[in-house]
Amino acid sequence: MTNLDAGGDLRLVGLTKRFGAFTAVDNLDLTIPQGSFFALLGASGCGKTTTLRMVSGLEDPTAGRIYLGDADVTDTKPYKRPVNTVFQNYALFPHLDIFENVAFGLRRRGVKDVKKAVEDILALVELGHLAKRKPTQLSGGQQQRVAVARALINQPQVLLLDEPLGALDLKLRRQMQIELKRIQTEVGLTFVHVTHDQEEAMTMADTIAVMNAGGIEQMGSPEELYENPATTFVANFLGQSNLVAGSISGKDGDTVTVEAHGSRIALPAARSRVESGAAIIGVRPEKVHLVHGGQDAPAGHNVFTGGVVTDASFIGVSTQYLVKMPWGEELAVFEQNAGQEIFRPGSEVSLHWDPSQTFGLDGSQDIEAGAEIDDEAAA
């Protein structure tokens, strides 16, 4: 059995993988603390799955080292690593029943009496009654839980999950997200979860690393990434952002002022990634409120005037607006349906929000980075 007590941080040092001329993973440094639920989030082709496969040993890195605790496992064969994977389409053995699928890892390591362990783990994933079935006789969600049980029973130091919920429908996915989180809390193992679904990553993970083009764009807790994205890519990929280009006009104590399309936008200095020059200001759609074109916004708020509503979708808890600004950009606004007026397309409106909800990014970046990818992933 693997030794759970050994300091089991997973460390990737300078990890690189090239396929011919294509660099899938580029000089990646990453430490994943033992016992955490860690998500690698990114669009397809960003290198997240390749990273996972290198950790499991199914892919050899071109350069760099992989450490599990103090042990260098870079050159260890996959079947000798205390790491198990929940594969994307589960890869359950079709010729074995559920019991034997789950017992596979133990049997291959020569464990004689597997009955108790298998029954316990099947109970954990609530599938004890299906032990004699074949994988094809199970639903997608059940197969997924078998895949988790088959990996977990080996008590790996790290459990790798490769888009484990991708094949499930939305409702089942939600249910399994909660289930996986519960299992992780219960067993206390390190989970490394690869996904392109930002909501899934945010729901489950303690720490998210957003990957882009083979490297890590930003890493932190879900709240941190959402509220304080470091780059336009993260701002656009994780949730939705209104990003407006401008330039820094002054700094007064804790407040930075940005000139953007004739408006003076204030934001907390702590949330600004730049000190001077070109900047991009950002605000999340749900922080923004609308008033009629002529009306005044609350004092002290940041304001953009002269907007025209181009689209209003009523979705129950909120109404989502697209507002076309005089400089041509369309900004998104999510208003809670708490009794205020619902604006029709064509209405002239002003946007306003609390300056503390504003973040500032380096103005030299592509303002649309990550935006299209998110649409693709959501589709």
Partner 1 sequence: MTAATEQLAPSAPAVEENRAKRNLLPYFLLAPGVLWLVIFFLIPIITAVSASVQTGSLDEGFSLTWRWANYSDMFSTYNAEIVHSMIYSVACTVLCLALGYPLAYFIAFRGGRWKNLLMALVIAPAFTSFLIRTIAWETILSDHGWVTRVLVDTKATNVMVDLGLITNNHQLLNTPFSVVFGMVYNFLPFTVLPLYTSLEKIDPRLHEAGADLYGSGYKTWRYVTWPLSLPGVIAGTLLTFIPAVGDYINAYMLGSPNTQVIGQVIENEALRDQFGYPTASAMGVVLTAGTLLVVMLYVRKAGTEDLL
Residues at the interface with partner 1 (CB under 8 A): 56-58, 77-80, 83-85, 87, 89, 91-95, 104-105, 107-109, 150-151, 154
- Let me know the angle formed at the C-alpha of 312 by 308 and 315, rounded to the nearest 5 degrees: 155
Q: How far is the CB of 143 from partner 1 (least distance, A)?
A: 13
49 or 236: CB nearest partner 1: 49
Which is nearer to partner 1, 85 or 350 (by Cβ)?
85
Q: Residue 218 carries which side chain, given as an amino acid letter?
A: Q
Rounded distance between C-alpha atoms, residue 206 and residue 348, angstroms: 42
What is the Cα–Cα distance from 162 to 184, expressed in whole angstroms? 15
Q: How far is the CB of 123 from partner 1 (least distance, A)?
A: 20
Residue 67 half-sphere exposure toward CB, CA atoms < 13 A? 16
**CB distance 130 to 163 below 8 Å:** no
Residue 148 and residue 287: Cα distance in Å, rounded? Answer: 38
Q: Radius of gyration of the chain from Cα atoms?
A: 24
- Nearest distance in Å: CB 132, partner 1: 15
Give the nearer residue to partner 1 in terms of CB position, either 107 or 264: 107
CA distance 130 to 98: 7
Residue 147 or residue 258: which is nearer to partner 1 going by CB?
A: 147
d(CA 51, CA 98): 29
Smallest distance from partner 1 to CB 158, Å: 12
Smallest distance, partner 1 to C-beta of residue 89, A: 7
Structure tokens at 344: 């029709």
Least CB distance to partner 1 at residue 85 (A): 5
Quick one: 56 or 350, whose CB is closer to partner 1? Answer: 56
Identify which of residues 89 and 257 has a Cβ nearer to partner 1 in the complex: 89
